[in-house]
Amino acid sequence: MVVEMEEFRRLIYHGEDYGDYYEISNAGKLRNAKEKDLKRLHMNAQGYLAYCGSIKGHKILFKVHRAVAETFIPNTQNKPQVNHINGVKTDNYVENLEWATNQENAVHAHNANLTNEESKRLINKNRRIPVVGVYEASGQSVRFESAFAAAVSTGVEKGSIRGTATKIRDCCKRCPDKVYKGATWHFDLNGIKAQKKHNDNN
């Protein structure tokens, strides 16, 4: 998912304004409102990116996808859940999120076969997986046909390309919030599904 220009706003979560302490971007990045330093996210047991911190000694927990939705997407019908349109739970760009009822969310997951196990199978079976790099300095997203192609683009020496590609894949699998070679990295699962469909039809 590509964001033309990254924008930070005062963070809204469960209807409360935390903007004096935190800001969140339309690309799903969280930062301190005063120092502007990016906060390290973690993946919870359900596979969603979240942030644990404290405000004046009180612990707080933000689920990133919900924070992005509440901050950037009007919820005119007061729907209770936030749906990842492409089914990738770590893809928290605003264009990939939508408000949904419990039923809409369940139907979407069922119809698209968006399960963690399916994603893992696709990733493990495909070596040539499209990846997306979101560059820290500019906020721009660039899609590559594979981690190898992304590694080549970083300008490393020829002997280091394979190792760099492996590290990019590891970031996609385990650390989607980690900055490596100036960018955070995630798999383009829509690209994987398109490849699988093409191969099945041939």
Question: What is the DSSP secondary-structure string of 144-193?
Answer: ESSHHHHHHHTT--GGGHHHHHHHHHHHHHH-TT--BTTEEEEE-HHHHH
Instruction: With a cut of 80, say whether residue 50 has pLDDT above it.
Output: yes
Check residue 198 and give its pLDDT.
44
Neighbours of 51 (CB within 10 A): 19
Averaged pLDDT for residues 15-37: 95
The whole-angstrom distance between residue 53's C-alpha and the CA centroid of its chain comes to: 20
Averaged pLDDT for residues 132-138: 81
Check residue 4 and give its pLDDT.
57
What residues does 58 pair with on adjacent strands? 55
Question: d(Cα 152, Cα 149) in Å, to the nearest integer?
Answer: 5
Measuring CA to CA, how many Å separate 129 from each of 16, 70, 145, 160, 165? 39, 32, 6, 19, 11
Averaged pLDDT for residues 162-174: 86
- Please tell me the number of Cα atoms within 13 Å of 184 on its side-chain side: 22
Of the candidates 88, 98, 82, the one whose C-alpha atom is nearest the C-alpha of residue 14 is: 82
What residues does 186 pair with on adjacent strands? 132
Neighbours of 22 (CB within 10 A): 23
What residues does 97 pair with on adjacent strands? 84
Residue with the bigger pLDDT between 24 and 128: it is 24
- Give residue limits of the domains in the chain: 8-112, 127-201
Of the candidates 10, 6, 66, 52, the one whose C-alpha atom is nearest the C-alpha of residue 34 is: 10
Instruction: With a cut of 70, say whether residue 1 has pLDDT above it.
Output: no
Select 127-201's CATH number: 1.10.10.10, 3.40.50.800, 3.40.430.10, 1.10.357.140.
1.10.10.10
> What is the share, in percent, of the chain residues with pLDDT greater than 70?
81
Averaged pLDDT for residues 29-57: 90
Q: What is the CA radius of gyration of the chain?
A: 18
Check residue 117 and give its pLDDT.
53
The answer to whether domain 8-112 has CATH 3.90.75.20 is yes
Check residue 14 and give its pLDDT.
95
- Max mean pLDDT range (41-45, 75-79, 178-182): 75-79
Whether 8-112 and 127-201 share one fold: the answer is no
Check residue 37 and give its pLDDT.
93
> pLDDT tens-digit profile of 63-101?
999 999 999 999 999 999 999 887 788 889 999 999 999
Check residue 79 and give its pLDDT.
94
